[in-house]
Amino acid sequence: MITRLSHLFLRTLRDDPADAEVASHRLLVRAGYVRRIAPGVYSWLPLGLRVLRKVEQVVRQEMDAMGAQEISLPALLPREPYETTRRWTEYGDALFRLQDRKQADYLLGPTHEELFALTVKGEYNSYKDLPVTLYQIQNKYRDEERPRAGILRGREFIMKDSYSFDLDEAGLARSYAAHRETYQRILARLGVRYVIVSATSGAMGGSASEEFLAESPVGEDTYVRSLESGYAANVEAVVTPAPAPLPLGGLPPAVVHDTPDTPTIAALVAWAESAKVVDRRVSAADTLKNVMVKLRHPDGKSEIVGIGIPGDREVDEKRLGAAVEPAEVELLTEADFAANPFLVKGYIGPKALLDNGIRYLVDPRVGTGTRWITGADEPGRHVVGLVAGRDFVPDGTIEAAEVRDGDPSPDGHGTLVAARGIEIGHIFQLGYKYTDAFEVDVLGENGKPVRLVMGSYGIGVSRMVAVVAEQQHDDKGLRWPSEIAPFDVHVVIANKDESARAGAEQVVAGLDARGLDVLFDDRTASPGVKFKDAELLGMPWVLVVGRGWAEGKVELRDRFTGAVEEIDAQAAVDAVVARIRG
Amino acid sequence: MITRLSHLFLRTLRDDPADAEVASHRLLVRAGYVRRIAPGVYSWLPLGLRVLRKVEQVVRQEMDAMGAQEISLPALLPREPYETTRRWTEYGDALFRLQDRKQADYLLGPTHEELFALTVKGEYNSYKDLPVTLYQIQNKYRDEERPRAGILRGREFIMKDSYSFDLDEAGLARSYAAHRETYQRILARLGVRYVIVSATSGAMGGSASEEFLAESPVGEDTYVRSLESGYAANVEAVVTPAPAPLPLGGLPPAVVHDTPDTPTIAALVAWAESAKVVDRRVSAADTLKNVMVKLRHPDGKSEIVGIGIPGDREVDEKRLGAAVEPAEVELLTEADFAANPFLVKGYIGPKALLDNGIRYLVDPRVGTGTRWITGADEPGRHVVGLVAGRDFVPDGTIEAAEVRDGDPSPDGHGTLVAARGIEIGHIFQLGYKYTDAFEVDVLGENGKPVRLVMGSYGIGVSRMVAVVAEQQHDDKGLRWPSEIAPFDVHVVIANKDESARAGAEQVVAGLDARGLDVLFDDRTASPGVKFKDAELLGMPWVLVVGRGWAEGKVELRDRFTGAVEEIDAQAAVDAVVARIRG
């Protein structure tokens, strides 16, 4: 197939779009692949749509190969099933909700667990039908608070979501493993550099879950891994190794000190050092910082909670958010402090919280027998040598403290190093949350009903286009792997000579006859403009028919390596086919 | 590709769904092609999705062949562009509207004229770039008042919509003609029986427009055609031939008569006959019926309007609706009559309307010089010999009266015959409505701006699946033309004998090797159940491997003709390939 640039609906832009922060966004807009319609809502122009469809096709082929079956559910969904699972409410502001002309409530599907569970319930009723894995490739909708980076985090986007249904947990584990392998195959074909990390399940419910993160400094997810072991986890999923309980006997009693003007950890440490209140060097890690947050639960109720973490660490908002889901975290207002006068800012200690019925959760490092310098619940006073498990017993632990480079790996091997990634896939062993909600049973071999166990698996399709652009681009423009390039080869006429034009037509016809998709720059623009566009648009191979044509030579450029090769004009078609088909 | 029925996510139903009125709906549900999720909102199960994708592919190939370029715009659209063209309001209740988390207004796109006009404005700025035709195949949303017949009239559905942009009207005419031909090619490939009829433009704006109607007694559109000429039109678009004006001179004056108890046309005609008020037989066609309606205009204002039509005809609600668009028609309430005491029910005449400033529109048959028996605006009184153009001058004409079999054809050749159809395509010469609204100009050859002229063209993709099912089914089930059948051939094992099973596996492998998509009924069910399913599912060819296998024979069934042929087992693969590839 031949597409002429003189005809293609395309305008490349010289300047970066004003709102573009990341390279993929900048380049996909400049190269005329996508256009913004509203925040997080984009059009796909011809080149972008071609890449998108090719990514879709890779995903579809691999899903089919694993035995999954494609169906297509609506994006416009009735409220009721999401009410049953409470997600109508728990999804919060991220759900697009609307009403029809009869005031019936609808939503735009962010993910389809409910509907797939109901679909299987509707069709199948015997253990003989199981296992089954269904998938769709479809528009999804999430009203992101901060849509960003073009199609990297959109509010309307395309996802492949699939759902497995098994008779038992062993079956679920097999379905999960099959998806994991399929995702690895898909990402290998797309040439994406990625890591698989342990993840939290979030609003999805369920137990085991892993994320596929594309390595990228512009990613919104932080993950950590141990270089000494295979351990890798989204930072939200890192489980802090808890110290073994220490004996409580023989520890000196806690002592309250006047510590004027020490509302910050730094000031407190400076005081402790100078006052020599303990028999060793004092660091921020010896202090216990109590952070107050307000949780808004899905039922609308608010709860004030205290979180105790070592003073050398900050609260990580995303870890905290993941730890308290589906509740949402809010800051306390002045009115909250006024209503709870026992909260003495800068000097809050465990005692006032526990005495006043405030739930108090601590970092796992605050284990039984550990000793702390912390607030004494009076202005300008702290307590030294307060022992966890003796002087206060917290209501539980919480993973809210930041994870840092150098922290010990949770698997006991080596230390953690952090990097950033873009979430491109997520696989969940959901368990029974949805099949319980809708009573998805089949008749078992023994004649008794068997409740099905479910997995849910998603891979970003439109996001993948941005991810590949992000990982593969260079300073001149986009670079597409052959598997998903809009065209196999980009042919440029770089000479106004009529014979070069005729020669280019001949080469293009030859490439087309061999089944290649050719983007043909037949415009009358200058060679400089055309070369710049070819680099920006990013086809993997650029064939230049120019001055050399008279001597029977054309030029083949490798967009990835930048290598330029002069080849015989008569052999050009064979050479290009050989490069592409390997 | 081989798909085994033992594995396929499919359950066929013995019973018709309770809500199914038409055959396509009944069969697509029974055969497990689609499932209802909400009114007018359906899931596509594996077989249905395969047909849908094949229809899409036929449409895509033909659109590409005409030089149109595929892009993809979002379904979630911001309000502003639709505000500019007033369609945000004019679309009325049929538009799904919603707000995002920041209370910004959005809609789910019912059709994309605004966005395509803006897209072309955004990319192109020179006459050299024109003409251009862009299309998309995409989910559309319309909140139909009465979603019906399964996927025949859904609220979420798939459409191919395209938009042409030309420098002048001659270019638009060419783009329109190209679409018309492309649609004919598409429908020929899909085997759809259809007519092309003149249409009204409705809420789209613009001038010339035609509809493609699939012939079907279950269609919602009524069209008429003249068997003597090529004339065909949607009944909403029929323009009543107006009589030539008659001379006003020499006509007797109108006379008011007491006509007790004649509030109906039948009673009035009976009175006129017996009273011999005119010198010939009186029929209902001699009476002028004045129907009062209330129009709700898009700006929210209401207006009472009188419509005068010959008494032998009823008002056709759809013709009236089309004639007053974008206003909506409502009935007058008792309060309206109370507020306008000059409206004497059963005896309303032109005089009271015109005297009281009520807009009065008449059927084109009520031409200058025609004489009528009509209400005298007093209870029990009518006026005889009231002359249009002399005794009353209406405010205009309106196409609101029903069109009937036998009416003269508007083109002057023959008479009209009515039939029903399903709208599957609509092509519009929009003109400048949208390019004016967004000032879509390019620099012309002479350096001056040229306003582009636009066309808009739609073809139903998901609806087409129902249309083919509707036109092609028989009493046993679905029947798919090869072009869009989910599978090329359906192979049934009709014998429990192990050798027949092995033989079927061998035949299936042979068909697969030749590139055919095979649906393989490898279940252990009885031959009767399998044959019934094969008929219901509707693949064009069914190959039965059964008792004959031992004698080297298999059976090939033509699902369309019902013909059964015994063929040599060894030649089965070649025979099937020959049938399908012609």
List pLDDT tens digits, range B354-377.
999 999 999 999 999 999 999 999
Q: Do B45 and A71 touch (CB under 8 A)?
A: yes
To the nearest 10°, the Cα dihedral for A412, A417, A422, A427? Answer: -10
B502 interface with A at CB cutoff 8 Å? no
Residue type, A194: Y
A45: closest chain B residue by CA:
B71
SS3 readout for B273-326 = HHHCCCCCCCCHHHEEEEEEEEEECCCCCEEEEEEEEECCCCECHHHHHHHHCC
- Are the CB atoms for B27 and B477 separated by under 8 Å? yes
Output phi, psi for B231, to 5 deg: -60, 135
Q: What is the mean pLDDT of residues A40-63?
A: 98
Structure tokens at A3: 């597409």
- How many pairs of residues across A and B have Cβ atoms under 8 Å apart? 135
CA angle A488, A492, A494 (to 5 degrees): 165
Q: Is the pLDDT of residue A201 over 70?
A: no
Residue type, A417: V
State the pLDDT at residue A238.
87
Q: Is the pLDDT of residue B202 over 70?
A: no
Chain A residues whose beta carbon lies within 8 Å of the beta carbon of residue B147: none
To the nearest 10°, the Cα dihedral for B521, B523, B527, B528? Answer: -90
Q: Is the pLDDT of residue A372 over 80?
A: yes
CA distances from A196 to A209, A425, B579 (A): 10, 9, 50
Q: Confidence class of residue B174 from pLDDT cuts 50, 70 and 90? A: very high
Higher-scoring residue by pLDDT: B164, A148:
B164
Chain A residues whose beta carbon lies within 8 Å of the beta carbon of residue B143: 100-101
Where are chain B's structural domains? 14-76+107-238+418-470, 255-397, 489-581
Q: What is the mean pLDDT of residues B104-127?
A: 96
Measured between alpha carbons, how far is B365 from B284 in angstroms, rounded to an integer? 14
Chain A residues whose beta carbon lies within 8 Å of the beta carbon of residue B69: 8-9, 46
pLDDT per position as a tens digit, B63-92: 999 999 999 999 999 999 999 999 998 888
State the pLDDT at residue B563.
94
Mean pLDDT of chain A: 92
For A:27-86, CB contacts with B below 8 A are 32, 35, 37-38, 41-46, 49, 52, 67, 69-78
For B:157-176, CB contacts with A below 8 A are none
Q: Do B44 and A108 touch (CB under 8 A)?
A: no
Q: Confidence class of residue B18 from pLDDT cuts 50, 70 and 90? A: confident
- Burial class of residue A521, CB neighbours in 10 A (0-12, 13-18, 19+): buried
Q: Is the pLDDT of residue A398 over 60?
A: yes
Q: What is the mean pLDDT of residues A454-473?
A: 97
SS3 readout for A205-218 = CCCCEEEEEEECCC
State the pLDDT at residue A206.
54
Mean pLDDT of chain B: 92
State the pLDDT at residue A21.
84
Q: Confidence class of residue B508 from pLDDT cuts 50, 70 and 90? A: very high
Chain B residues whose beta carbon lies within 8 Å of the beta carbon of residue A156: 74-76
Measured between alpha carbons, how far is A256 from A376 in angstroms, rounded to an integer? 7
State the pLDDT at residue B203.
47
Q: Do A101 and B145 touch (CB under 8 A)?
A: yes
- Does CATH number 3.40.50.970 belong to domain B14-76+107-238+418-470? no
- Rounded to the nearest angstrom, the minimum Cα separation between A371 and chain B is 46
State the pLDDT at residue A202.
52
**ipTM of the modeled complex:** 0.86
Q: What is the mean pLDDT of residues B511-525?
A: 95
* Of the partner residues B71, B93, B101, the one whose CB lies closest to the CB of residue A143: B101
Q: Confidence class of residue A203 from pLDDT cuts 50, 70 and 90? A: very low
Chain A residues whose beta carbon lies within 8 Å of the beta carbon of residue B106: 38
Structure tokens at B91: 């679309």
Inter-axis angle of helices A46-65 and A169-190, nearest 10: 140
State the pLDDT at residue B41.
96
A141 interface with B at CB cutoff 8 Å? yes
Measured between alpha carbons, how far is A190 from A181 in angstroms, rounded to an integer? 14
Q: Can the peptide bond before residue B46 be classed as cis, meaning omega within 30 degrees of 0?
A: no
Chain B residues whose beta carbon lies within 8 Å of the beta carbon of residue A14: none
pLDDT per position as a tens digit, A519-558: 999 998 999 999 999 999 999 999 999 888 889 999 999 9
Q: Is the pLDDT of residue B183 over 50?
A: yes
Task: Determine which of B9, B12, B44, B135 to mutate to test the interface with A (most A C-beta atoms within 10 Å).
Answer: B9
Inter-axis angle of helices A462-472 and A46-65, nearest 10: 110
Chain A residues whose beta carbon lies within 8 Å of the beta carbon of residue B93: 101
Measured between alpha carbons, how far is A436 from A440 in angstroms, rounded to an integer? 7
State the pLDDT at residue A229.
86
A116-145 burial: b if 16+ Cβ within 10 Å, else e: bbbbbbebbeebebbbbbbbbbbbbbbbbe
Q: Is the pLDDT of residue A7 over 80?
A: yes
Q: Do B32 and A123 touch (CB under 8 A)?
A: yes
Q: Do B71 and A156 touch (CB under 8 A)?
A: no
The contacts of residue A211 (CB under 8 Å, 6+ apart) are A196, A197, A198, A199, A221, A223, A234, A423, A425, A426
State the pLDDT at residue A204.
45
* Of the partner residues A44, A72, A76, the one whose CB lies closest to the CB of residue B141: A76
Q: Is the pLDDT of residue B457 over 70?
A: yes
Share of chain B above pLDDT 90, in %: 71
To the nearest 10°, the Cα dihedral for B39, B43, B48, B51? Answer: 90
Fold of A14-238+418-470: BirA Bifunctional Protein; domain 2 (3.30.930)
* Of the partner residues A43, A71, A101, the one whose CB lies closest to the CB of residue B74: A43
* Of the partner residues A101, A139, A156, the one whose CB lies closest to the CB of residue B93: A101
pLDDT per position as a tens digit, A292-341: 999 998 788 999 999 999 999 999 998 999 888 878 898 899 999 999 99
A11: closest chain B residue by CA:
B123
A165: closest chain B residue by CA:
B9
State the pLDDT at residue B62.
98
To the nearest 10°, the Cα dihedral for A85, A89, A92, A97? Answer: 100
The two domains A255-397 and A489-581 share their CATH topology (first three levels equal)? no
Structure tokens at A515: 């089944």
For A:219-258, CB contacts with B below 8 A are none
Q: What is the mean pLDDT of residues A371-395?
A: 92
Q: Do B38 and A78 touch (CB under 8 A)?
A: yes
Chain B residues whose beta carbon lies within 8 Å of the beta carbon of residue A101: 93-94, 143, 145
Provide CATH code, domain B255-397: 3.90.960.10
Q: Confidence class of residue A147 from pLDDT cuts 50, 70 and 90? A: confident
pLDDT per position as a tens digit, A231-266: 888 888 888 888 889 988 888 999 999 888 888 888
Q: What's the first-to-final CA gap in chain A, in angstroms? A: 20
Q: Do B41 and A77 touch (CB under 8 A)?
A: yes
Chain B residues whose beta carbon lies within 8 Å of the beta carbon of residue A44: 71-73
Q: Is the pLDDT of residue B228 over 80?
A: yes
Q: Do B45 and A132 touch (CB under 8 A)?
A: no
When computed from its CA atoms, the radius of gyration of chain A, rounded to whole angstroms, is 30
Closest CA relative to residue A285, chosen from A407, A193, A191, A182: A407
- Are the CB atoms for B321 and B262 separated by under 8 Å? no
pLDDT per position as a tens digit, A109-132: 999 999 999 999 999 999 999 999
Q: Do A139 and B143 touch (CB under 8 A)?
A: no
State the pLDDT at residue B391.
93
Closest CA relative to residue A204, chosen from A105, A300, A85, A316: A85
Residue type, B49: L
A47: closest chain B residue by CA:
B71
B73: closest chain A residue by CA:
A43
For A:110-139, CB contacts with B below 8 A are 115, 119, 122-124, 132, 134, 139
Closest CA relative to residue B483, chosen from B15, B25, B50: B50
- Rounded to the nearest angstrom, the minimum Cα separation between B448 and chain A is 21
Q: How far, in whole angstroms, is CA A534 from its chain's centroid?
A: 31
State the pLDDT at residue A138.
94
State the pLDDT at residue B204.
45
Q: Is the pLDDT of residue B187 over 70?
A: yes
- Are the CB atoms for A288 and A410 separated by under 8 Å? no
pTM: 0.86
CATH of B489-581, one of 3.40.50.300, 3.30.70.20, 3.40.50.800, 3.40.50.970: 3.40.50.800
Structure tokens at B456: 């808009």
Task: List the single range of A104-113, B223-232, B432-441, B510-519 with lowest mean pLDDT.
Answer: B223-232
H-state helical runs in A385-486: 433-437, 462-472
Share of chain B above pLDDT 70, in %: 99
When computed from its CA atoms, the radius of gyration of chain B, rounded to whole angstroms, is 30
Structure tokens at B263: 């509030």
Q: Confidence class of residue B201 from pLDDT cuts 50, 70 and 90? A: low
Assign B78 to helix, strand or coil: strand
To the nearest 10°, the Cα dihedral for A390, A395, A399, A405? Answer: -10
Task: List the single range of A66-75, B122-131, B256-265 with lowest mean pLDDT.
Answer: B256-265
Chain B residues whose beta carbon lies within 8 Å of the beta carbon of residue A97: 98
pLDDT per position as a tens digit, B297-327: 878 899 999 999 999 999 999 899 988 888 8
Other C-beta atoms closer than 10 Å to the C-beta of A581 total 11
B141 interface with A at CB cutoff 8 Å? yes
Tokens 């797309």 sit at which residue?
Answer: A190
